[in-house]
A and B are shown apart, each in its own frame.
Chain A
Amino acid sequence: MINTFIGNLGHLMVILAFVSSLITAYSYYQYTVVPEIEKASWRKFSRIFFYIHAVSAISIGVILFNIIHNFRFEYFYAYSHASKALPVHYMISSFWEGQEGSFILWIFWDVILGLFLIHTNKSWEGPVMVVFSLVQAFLVSMILGVVIGDLKIGSSPFILLRDVANAPIFQMNPDFVPEDGTGLNPLLQNIWMVIHPPTLFLGYASTLVPFAYLMAGLWTGKYKEWIRPALPWTIFSALILGMGIIMGAYWAYVTLNFGGYWNWDPVENASYVPWLIIVASIHTMITFRKSSTALKTSIVLIILQFILVLYATFLVRSGVLGDTSVHSFTDLGLSGQLLIYLFFFMFVAIFLSARAWKNIPTSEKEASVYSREFWIFIGATTLGLMAFQVILPTSIPVYNAIVESFGGISNMAPPADQIEFYTKFQLWFGVVLALLTAVGQFFWWKKMDKKELKNALATPYIISLILAAIIITVAKVWNITFMVIVMAATFTIVANATILSKLLKKSTFKLAGGSLAHIGLGLILIGVMFSSGYSDVISLNMSGLTYKRDWEDELNKENVLLWINQPLQMKDYEVVYRGRNKKLEGVPGYVNVNKLESTDNVNEAIALEDINVNGKTYHKKGDKVNIVLEENSYFEIEYFKDQQHQFTLFPMSQPNPTMGLISSPDSKHFLNKDLYTHISAINSYDDPEWGEDEFYEVTPGEQFHLGDYITTFEGGEVMEEVEGVELEEGDVAVKAKLVIQDHDKQIHLDPIFLIRGNRIGKIPTVNHDLGVKIQVDNISPETNKFVFKANNYQKDYVVMKALVKPYINVLWIGTIIMLIGFGVAIYRRYDEFVKMRDKGLE
């Protein structure tokens, strides 16, 4: 039965959230401008309305999750993003698979941040919350779902399927509810996709906090006081957004099959650019806190990072990237609204800053080359240029769209090899940053002149040169660019480690944030360089001629075809494909599909034999077992070295009805490298087109060629009972025992022949791995000969790709250290803010 109540309730909550955010904005405006005596009542009123907004915003999320979780497929959102087969944690992913859900997530985080700010601020509450509530009003309007004539405001997640679909079934039966939804994009069925979007959106949402403090400061004339409360939040944004980006990269590495963690896809760039600007703004804000310079730069950067987040949202959600990105959303008709949102805040920010500009204090003093301000400023400039270098080509589709909207024709396309294009710039910028952080940190902690600088840097410099030389020799880095990277990175690591050890000696861990983050940067550089620069495809196809002889040199085939059980040499390893597996609930590891027979129910199968793992029996023959996502197959690939079995990998693939084959790699993690394996193509296996009938007449003990296989007919055996058939008095059942030798593996096929009176029954045996179907066609007792009828299909195979990613762990460790550094810095800066506030100064 259709439940329209819950959707109406959801829609009501959306409207309530929208209206309450506007009222909150207005009342907080009043609270800020009215005389002291009236403030208390306006504050109470504003808070009540923000709470109403918070409750309604959270209800929107709860209601949408209820719709997904209870499989209310009468709703379009549940129908198009969920399905019954999904485990609960993937239903959470379904929630934010669609644009509407992700906006709800964003709204939710802003609410949490807003509540936090209300209760941690004194004088800032009013003006900051005006900005907050206005942003909320814009965000909620994205899911408003109001259509007035041609004007569409927002896209509601609570619309019914029958209102969207033109299917004739709704004319016959308006209350029709589909059995199952279309499900979650299989690429998103990954644990990282459950936690990556909320992290990323918290990062996006939190960029609002420093922006709101800045706007509040510009508005109320506190041109420099805003920095103190904004600084911990800016670092928080850098931490969370950075973490979200890395989770996305890790997800790409473990789930997607482009063979890496970063592809310079426009959507990835759109999150990386604001992050760079946030990091730059942290540096200028810290400089300001120390020496009252760089205030104007900080203002520009804080505005820029917020606007860039909105621009990123626009790029990803407006459909403008349709031709250039593999994973942008399509247009929901919200692009106009997103642009209004972007321009509104851009103009407000420009207006407020322009108005305040001449009153903003600047330092007239020229920064000396031996001052930290100078070096940090260069660092921030480098970060800004990095951001510029990425966003400029990423916006190519936008230029085309603009030119076309004026009636022109623009056929500019992004660089053909994005990875090479962006990397060649970003790596060098990275080197510059590493050098700057090494030198800059010394300036930071001490006043320096030429001589002192030499003294301070000499030891770290020599140590890092020795270290770099060792790394270069041991890891065989014979490329000049990479040598420079190693040297710059070790220099920053050593220099910052020196500072860190000095700080720790004074037991001021609170101050260690900067040096930790910079050590992280050095490690990231080394990790990226090795894992990408020295990434090695080992699955080179040596099988024969390439397509055209004249391009032979250029076209290495990076995939290999593996027939089941047939070993293949691949660089140092010999690999063998051993067949398909499924994952069962409660059973460790994987279970071969030949041991399972699927039933008509979703994710359910019957065990065809006992399921034992490590000596323990988990299921008896004939038991019903539950498969974890039946669509997923795990392809067993054994790796051998010098005839010795080394390890087995199980890359996953899912033949998806709407998207085709979706593959997720599996990696063997070594301390110093990852061996990454993924499936590029598989044999379609479910409904084989059997070849023509072939007949073989054999006597027991005889060997014959069944297709390509040498097959031994061991003989017939009279059976007492046959599975699935009730044997009657006088029935004769004979099992023919056939053994096929497929390389090192023996496969038994036992077709059965039944005689009841003058009727006969033939029970064939099918082996999907070998692609063979065989049955006993006749038995002639006089000649003691069995006649077999066989049909062939294709032997099972996979096409796979294998890469070695050296020292990728250095990258992950580096990011973790950098994030810890941010965490320490947040603690320090927030502590400062709280102390000042409690003194009544904020």
Chain B
Amino acid sequence: MKKGHILGLGVIAVAIVIIVSSIGDASSYESFSTAKAMAQEGDDDPIHVVGQLAKDSMGTVTGLEVSDDKTSFTFTMVDNEGTSQQVYYNEPVPADFTRSEQVVVIGSYKSENMFVADKILMKCPSKYQETELKEASL
């Protein structure tokens, strides 16, 4: 075999390792119910859940509880299937949290009733995009 071929095979091998590991480490977007089922089967890999904060009829966020030392909080999130779930996040409340249109939590179930988020991504109406014109500012 020529050296070039060995090299080529080596590159292909590394590329396959990369592809396999990317697929293996890729997370997935799930709903709370599937996440719970996964946790009960002992699979505690972090997954992504997309949803909104629970809000009352006035549009105010409900279920947000900040710990006494203000360094962690729990909130209620409703996923796209409509399941409502309490989520714990071990960081101070992100400032634009209650304004978010959509929340992505990355984490897993640590106990029966509590989803623990390792990371929260928020999509805010105004973040990095042309601001929607607000009547109030006119």
Contact = CB atoms under 8 A, between A and B. Distances in A.
Interface of A: 76, 79-80, 98, 161, 164-169, 176, 178, 180, 182, 185, 322-324, 326-330, 366-367, 369, 374, 377-378, 381, 385, 388-389, 392-393, 396, 411-417, 421, 425, 541, 543-544, 546-548, 550-551, 555, 557-561, 655-656, 658-663, 680-681, 797, 799
B106 A416 contact: yes
B45 A411 contact: no
Contacts of B123: 322-323
A416 B118 contact: yes
A660 B99 contact: yes
B14 A413 contact: no
Contacts of A544: 69
Given A393-B22, A560-B71, A660-B99, A416 B91 contact: no
Which 4 pairs between the two chains have the least Cβ-Cβ distance? Answer: A660-B95, A661-B95, A660-B96, A416-B46
A388 B27 contact: no
Nearest to A682: B95
Contacts of A168: 135
Contacts, number: 165
B33 interface: no
Interface residues of B, number: 60
A388 B15 contact: yes
B57 interface: no
A329 B26 contact: no
Contacts of A417: 46, 118
Given A388-B15, A547-B88, A799-B70, A416 B126 contact: no
A413 B27 contact: yes
Interface in B92-138: 92-97, 99, 104, 106-107, 110-111, 114, 116, 118-119, 121, 123-124, 126-131, 133, 135, 137-138
B90 A557 contact: yes
Interface string B18-56: 110110011111100000000000000111101000000
A660 B3 CA distance: 59
B92 A799 contact: yes
A384 to B, nearest CB: 8
A369 B26 contact: no
A368 B132 CA distance: 63
B67 interface: yes
Contact of B131 (A377, A658, A660): A658
B4 interface: yes
A393 B27 CA distance: 10
B11 A381 contact: yes
A548 B19 contact: no
B7 interface: yes
Nearest to A798: B70
A326 B91 contact: no
Contact of A659 (B47, B72, B95, B135): B95
A409 B131 CA distance: 31
B90 A555 contact: yes
B95 A412 contact: no
A559 B91 contact: yes
Contact of B67 (A178, A185, A547): A547
B4 to A, nearest CB: 7
A543 B71 CA distance: 11
A139 B32 CA distance: 44
A413 B23 CA distance: 10
A741 B129 CA distance: 48
B110 A551 contact: yes
B137 A178 contact: yes
A198 B21 CA distance: 36
Contacts of B130: 76, 80, 98, 330
Contacts of A411: 28-30
A484 B50 CA distance: 40
Contacts of B135: 167-168
A330 B128 contact: yes
A560 B92 CA distance: 10
A246 B107 CA distance: 31
Contacts of A80: 130-131
13 contacts: A323-B121, A330-B128, A330-B129, A413-B26, A541-B69, A546-B90, A550-B111, A557-B69, A559-B92, A561-B70, A561-B71, A799-B71, A799-B92
Nearest to B98: A660
A369 B95 contact: no
